[in-house]
Amino acid sequence: MKPLKFFVVADPHYFAKSLDAYGTAYEEFMDFEQKCYAETAAINDAVFDYLKNSADADVILFAGDLSFNGEKASHIEFSQKLKDLQDSGKDLYVVTAGHDIEPNPFEFNEEQGRHHVEGVKFRDLYDYYRDFGYDKAISFYEKTLSYVAQIGDGVRLLVLCNDGDEGKNLAYSDEMMAWAKEQAEKAKEENQIMIAMEHYPLLPGQPLLTLIPDARQKKSRDVINMLADSGVHLIFTGHMHNHSINVTNSDNGNILYDVCSGSIIGCPAFMRLVTIEDEHTVKIESIAIPEFEWDKKGKTGKEYMKDQFERMIRSMITGMKDDPQRLLRRFGAGDKKTLFGPTRKIGKAMSTWSVGKVTRLLGVKADRRIKDMPFLELAVSIVRYAFEGDQPYVEGTPEGDTILKFFKRLNPIFKILNKKLHGSQGETLDFYDILKNSVGNYGMSDYNSILRF
Ligand SMILES: [Fe+2]
Ligand SMILES: [Fe+2]
C-alpha cells in the first residue's frame, strides 16, 4: 500500500460569531473553564486556514464536540466552515458528541447575563454533517450516526458514535457492536487496514481518569476486545481535552492503541498528523495550532491558552480559601455548609504554603531546589501537565523524587483505598502507581510516537 497521511482535530467546540460571550457572568464562568470560549471562532479560523493550505495531508478527521454546547447557530456556521474546507479539495470525516446536543445551550452578555439559546436534537445532526462522512459511507448505521468510510487506498475508517435519540454517551447496543464487528471483519477479509474514531476514549487518558465515569466510553473493555480481536488496532479519540497515547491488549492478547487528542481551543492545543506507513506501522506527530487573530495582550496563542488553563486551576485552589461556597456551588455542593470550614483551611494551606512546608506535614524533606517554591505553583503545574501529556515529574527530577517520597508516606492510606475503591468500570486500583504515572510519563511519548501492531 501507499502510505496515507491525515490530520486529526479534536474538540473544536466552535461557538458562533453571531452569539455573545462577554460580560460579568461570562468572566465568572471563565474562572473555572479550561477552554477558550469567546476566542473559539478565531482559533478555528486559524486552524482551518492552516489545514486548507497544508500540503501534508488532504484527509482530515474531526473527533467530536464540534460545537461549544450544541447551539444551533454554532452548528450552522461550523458546518459551513467544513463545507468551505472540503470544497477547497480536502476530504473530511466527522463524529458528533455529547456537547453537540446539549439540551440547554447558552450565551453571555452584560444585559441578560447567562441565558438560553436555541439548540438542536440528535436527529438534526445528520442534516448539518451529512457531507462529512455519512453520505460518503460504505456502511451507515443511521441510528447513532456511525459509519465506515474508505479514506485511502487500502485504509478504512470505522466511526463510532454513542449518542442517539434516547440520550448521549450511552453504552453501545448489542446490535451496534455486531454491526461494527461485522464491518471490521469484512475489512480484514478484503485486505483493508481498518482504524477507528470515536469521541470518548476507550482507555483513561491519564491513569487518574480511571476514577471518573464520564472520562471513558461505557463498557470500554467490551469495545476494546471487539475491535482488537477483529483486527482494529488503533482508535482516535478526544473528549477529556488531554493529549495522550495509551496502549492495551484485548483479553485474547491483541493490541489496541488509543490516541487521544486535546481540544484545539484549550491548552495544550495540538492537532495530530498521522501517517499509516504500512499495515503494521503508524507514525503519530503533534502539531501546535497556529497563531490566531485575537487581542492576546501581547502573548502568543500558546501562552494565552496556558494562562486560561492556569486561571482555572488557580481559581479553584484560591477559591477554596476565598469563597468556598462559590467553588462548592460549581460542583453542586453549594448548600453543604459543613464543608465550608475545611475547604477554606485546605485552600489556605495550598495557596500560601511552600512545597517544603506541605511535605514536612508527613515528615518528608523536599528536594532543596524546590523546597521554597510556592506549593500552589507545583500543584498548578501537576494538573496542567496531566492534561498536556509527557508529564515531566518522573523519578530522578527534584519534583518527581519529592512527590514520590510524599506518596510513599501515604501508602498506608492508599492500601486501604486500593481495597475499598474500584475504577469507574470495576478495575482493581493501585493508588501509588496511578499517582506516580499521572505526575510522570514513563511510557511512549504522548506527542510523537511510532505505533507498531
Ligand atoms: Fe470537549
Ligand atoms: Fe466531550
Residues 87 and 194 in one domain: yes
Residues 190 and 97 in one domain: yes
Q: For residue 73, what pLDDT is reported?
A: 98
Residues 415 and 281 in one domain: no
Whose atoms come closest to the Cα of 68: which ligand? 1
Q: For residue 1, what pLDDT is reported?
A: 81
Query: 201 CA distance to ligand 2 centroid (A)?
Result: 10
Residues 283 and 311 in one domain: no
Residues 61 and 132 in one domain: yes
Query: What's the number of domains the chain is made of?
Result: 2
| Peptide bond before residue 3 is cis, with ω within 30 degrees of 0 | no
The three-state secondary structure class of 115 is strand
The three-state secondary structure class of 176 is helix
Residues 406 and 437 in one domain: yes
CA distances from 85 to 50, 53, 271, 285, 305 (A): 10, 10, 16, 22, 25
Query: 11 CA distance to ligand 2 centroid (A)?
Result: 7
Residues 270 and 311 in one domain: no
- Residue 451 placed within a domain: no
Residues 214 and 353 in one domain: no
Residues with Cβ within 8 Å of 449's Cβ and at least 6 positions away in sequence, in order, are: 245, 283, 284
Query: 36 CA distance to ligand 2 centroid (A)?
Result: 15
Residues 18 and 55 in one domain: yes
CA contacts within 13 A on the Cβ side of 212: 15
Query: 407 CA distance to ligand 1 centroid (A)?
Result: 31
Q: For residue 40, what pLDDT is reported?
A: 97
CATH number, domain of 49, equals: 3.60.21.10
Strand partners, 195: 157
Query: 18 CA distance to ligand 2 centroid (A)?
Result: 23
Query: 95 CA distance to ligand 2 centroid (A)?
Result: 11
Query: 208 CA distance to ligand 2 centroid (A)?
Result: 17
pLDDT digits (tens, 9 = 90+) for 89-124: 999 999 999 999 999 999 999 999 999 999 999 999
Quick one: cell of 51?
489545514
Q: At what angle do helices 411-420 and 431-439 cross, to 10 degrees?
A: 110
Domain of 110, in residue numbers:
4-288
- Residue 294 placed within a domain: no
Query: 21 CA distance to ligand 1 centroid (A)?
Result: 18
Note if the pTM is more than 0.85. yes
pLDDT digits (tens, 9 = 90+) for 162-175: 998 888 889 999 99
Query: 306 CA distance to ligand 2 centroid (A)?
Result: 20
- Residue 293 placed within a domain: no
CA distances from 37 to 94, 108, 265 (A): 21, 11, 8
Residues 283 and 334 in one domain: no
Residues 242 and 280 in one domain: yes
Quick one: cell of 445?
511519548
Residues 218 and 340 in one domain: no
Q: For residue 80, what pLDDT is reported?
A: 98
Q: For residue 19, what pLDDT is reported?
A: 98
Q: Which of 288, 322, 344 is the last residue of a domain?
A: 288
Whose atoms come closest to the Cα of 216: which ligand? 2
- Residue 426 placed within a domain: yes
Whose atoms come closest to the Cα of 200: which ligand? 2
Per-residue pLDDT of the chain (453 residues; tens, 9 = 90+): 899 999 999 999 999 999 999 999 999 999 999 999 999 999 999 999 999 999 999 999 999 999 999 999 999 999 999 999 999 999 999 999 999 999 999 999 999 999 999 999 999 999 999 999 999 999 999 999 999 999 999 999 999 999 988 888 899 999 999 999 999 999 999 999 999 999 999 999 999 999 998 999 999 999 999 999 999 999 999 999 999 999 999 999 999 999 999 999 999 999 999 999 999 999 999 999 999 999 999 999 999 999 999 999 999 888 899 988 888 887 788 888 898 998 999 899 889 999 999 999 999 999 999 999 999 999 999 999 999 999 999 999 999 999 999 999 999 999 999 998 899 998 999 999 999 999 999 989 999 999 999
Query: 102 CA distance to ligand 1 centroid (A)?
Result: 12
Q: For residue 335, what pLDDT is reported?
A: 86
The radius of gyration of the chain's CA atoms, rounded to the nearest angstrom, is 22
Whether the CA torsion 204, 215, 242, 233 is positive or negative: it is positive
Give burial (CB, 10 Å; 0-12/13-18/19+) of 269: buried
Q: For residue 17, what pLDDT is reported?
A: 96
